């Protein structure tokens, strides 16, 4: 059963009007779509949060009912959070047609254990965590899976190496690196230790020279003995 958000038409207003809406337990929102005038509404923030925290997140398709009348399918196009408390304070909904291609962002999901990590002690560096794709609303993937099992140290996967469903077209630059396996970090000798290690032989040499000098002084005859 598709998710439904119940919206109420509101009169556009300034900050004070928006504060009153939020104080009532709702948040201001805007619904817009191709060839349509934007519609200003208020919605329950918990319903929007449920969508954002779902597996498909912002790519979730849901239905919006405005004042009880069913509208087109929509997606969360954008949202704003309170910078202090992190509460949802505004949302933008984009109406979509199920037969029209969409351009959207899909997260990368790394699967498998890289050979370079498992056997070589390397470190996996995920350089790109999401890519842009184009597809119909019904073909939106939850994520783009990237298998790293065969990667050895210094190996990498570029966007052009990603395999996707034929219904999903990747728009991101094909040369962009998605994931790579970097060599293990070598432990460096602290500078102070290195300096001390280098200075220690010098100290020994100086001490030895002093001792040898003292022995020479002892072996020399005194002035009274030379007379």
- Confidence label for 106 from pLDDT (cuts 50, 70 and 90): very high
Q: Which region, left, alpha or beta, applies to residue 35 given φ > 0 means left and ψ of -120 to 50 means alpha?
A: left
User: Residue 37, Cβ neighbours under 10 Å: how many?
Assistant: 7
Instruction: State how far Cα 61 lies from the chain centre.
Output: 23
pLDDT score of 183: 95
pLDDT score of 224: 45
**Fold classification of 3-97 (topology level):** Ribosomal Protein L25; Chain P (2.40.240)
pLDDT score of 185: 83
pLDDT score of 24: 94
- Provide, rounded to the nearest whole percent, the portion of the chain with pLDDT above 90: 69
pLDDT score of 11: 83
> Over the stretch 117-149, which tens digit does the pLDDT of each residue have?
999 999 999 999 999 999 999 999 999 999 999
Q: What's the mean pLDDT in 31-36?
A: 87
Mean pLDDT of the chain: 86
Residue 198 parent element (H or E): helix 191-219
- CATH 3.40.50.10490 describes domain 103-182: no
Mention every residue, 6+ apart, whose C-beta is less than 8 A from residue 83: none
- The DSSP code sequence of 96-155 is --TTS-EEEEEEEEEES--HHHHTT--EEEE---EEEEEE-GGG--S-EEEE-TT--TT-
pLDDT score of 194: 54
Q: What's the mean pLDDT in 33-54?
A: 92
> Would you list the domain boundaries of the chain?
3-97, 103-182, 191-222
pLDDT score of 201: 54
Mean pLDDT is lowest, of 71-85, 115-129, 212-226, for 212-226
Mention every residue, 6+ apart, whose C-beta is less than 8 A from residue 7: 29, 31, 41, 42, 43, 64, 65, 66, 67
- Confidence label for 2 from pLDDT (cuts 50, 70 and 90): low
Residues shown for the chain: 227
Is residue 226 scored above 50 in pLDDT? no
Query: What span, in angstroms and rounded, lies between the C-alpha atoms of 166 and 153?
Result: 31
Contact between 178 and 126 (Cβ < 8 Å): yes
Mention every residue, 6+ apart, whose C-beta is less than 8 A from residue 208: none
pLDDT score of 35: 81
């Amino acid at each position: 059963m598709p998710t439904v958000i119940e919206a109420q038409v509101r009169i556009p207003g300034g900050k004070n009007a928006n504060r009153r809406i939020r104080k009532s337990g709702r948040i201001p929102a805007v619904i817009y779509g191709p060839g349509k005038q934007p519609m200003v509404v208020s919605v329950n923030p918990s319903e929007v949060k449920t969508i954002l925290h779902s597996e498909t997140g912002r790519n979730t398709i849901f239905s919006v009912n405005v004042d009880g009348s069913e509208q087109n399918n929509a997606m969360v196009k954008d949202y704003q959070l309170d910078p202090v408390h992190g509460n949802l304070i505004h949302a933008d909904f984009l109406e979509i047609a199920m037969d029209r291609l969409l351009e959207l962002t899909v997260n990368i999901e790394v699967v498998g254990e890289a050979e370079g990590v498992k056997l070589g002690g390397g470190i996996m560096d995920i350089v790109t965590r999401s890519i842009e794709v184009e597809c119909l609303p019904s073909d939106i993937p939850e994520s783009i899976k990237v298998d790293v099992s065969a990667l050895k140290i210094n190996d990498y996967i570029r966007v052009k190496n990603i395999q996707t469903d034929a219904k999903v077209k990747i728009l991101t630059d094909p040369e962009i690196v998605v994931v790579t396996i970097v060599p293990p970090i070598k432990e460096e000798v602290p500078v102070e230790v290195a300096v001390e290690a280098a200075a220690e032989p010098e100290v020994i040499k100086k001490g030895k020279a002093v001792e040898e000098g003292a022995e020479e002084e002892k072996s020399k005859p005194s002035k009274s003995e030379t007379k």
